[in-house]
Amino acid sequence: MATPPSLPEHDPYRTPDAHLIPPSSSDGHELADRWARLAAALIDGVIALVVTVPPMLMTGYWQAAFEAGRSGGFGFMPLGTTVLWAIIGFVLFTLIQGYPLHASGQTWGKKLLSIRIVDLQGRTPPLADLLLKRYLPTHAIVNIPCVGGLYALVDSLMIFRQDQRCLHDLIAGTRVVRAD
């Protein structure tokens, strides 16, 4: 077997070298790892599903959703039903996550993964700010058919910015850091 020829010193096809420096903040907080944020969101999502699916089954929501899909209505639920369940979902989120958010700026998922939400000065934001600026706008927008899915995609992909702040972080003036 022949040995490959050595590469010239200047190879125009070689990927460029980049020295990546992890983002840091001026207040000494280390930004949370992207994977930790994803895992925390998944944990919070499972908690939300466990709590919301039973009432949706008991009230006939899922049956109505399947019928809407079969009737040629593009699977969209009536506006009133969508708004009602969006409100119920946000109230349940507040009941489930309100205490840890108020106490430490963490949801249950963030608490399990030792990350927390802080404002741009490194302080734990008040519960009202977290609910009304960080969670409510996103919750409202994702419930809008078509637009909601696009918003959720853009919001999620913004984690790849250098400062790792998603759209909901920019709206609320927050960031997610490692818990001390």
Question: Whole domain around residue 49: which residue ranges?
Answer: 34-178
Contacts for 113 with CB less than 8 Å, ≥ 6 apart: 32, 36, 39, 40, 43
- Residue 118, beta-bridge partner list: 175
Which amino acid makes up residue 29?
Answer: H
8 A C-beta contact, residue 151 and residue 142 = yes
Contact predicate 95/89, CB 8 Å: no
The pLDDT assigned to 13 comes to 77
Give dist(CA 116, CA 37) in Å, integer. 9
In a domain, 3, yes or no: no
Residue 26 placed within a domain: no
The three-state secondary structure class of 20 is: coil
Tokens (6 digits) for 55: 């009432």
pTM above 0.85, yes or no: no
d(CA 119, CA 10): 46
Domain membership flag for residue 51: yes
Is residue 19 assigned to a domain? no
Residue 5 lies in a domain: no
166 domain-assigned: yes
Instruction: Walk along the chain (180 residues) and give the pLDDT tens digit of each residue.
Output: 666 666 556 777 777 776 555 555 556 789 999 999 999 999 999 999 999 999 999 998 888 878 777 766 566 778 888 899 999 999 999 999 999 999 999 999 999 999 999 999 999 999 999 999 999 999 999 988 889 999 999 999 999 999 999 999 999 999 999 997
10 in a domain, yes or no?
no
CA distance 180 to 177: 9
Q: Please report the DSSP string for 93-152 in residue order.
A: HHHHHHHHHHHHS--HHHHHTTEEEEETTSPPPPHHHIIIIIIHHHHHHHTSTTHHHHHH
Residue 62 phi, psi (nearest 5):
-65, -40
Q: Count the domains in the chain.
A: 1
**27: three-class secondary structure by DSSP:** coil
Does residue 128 belong to any structural domain of this protein?
Answer: yes
Q: What is the greatest pairwise CA distance in the chain?
A: 72
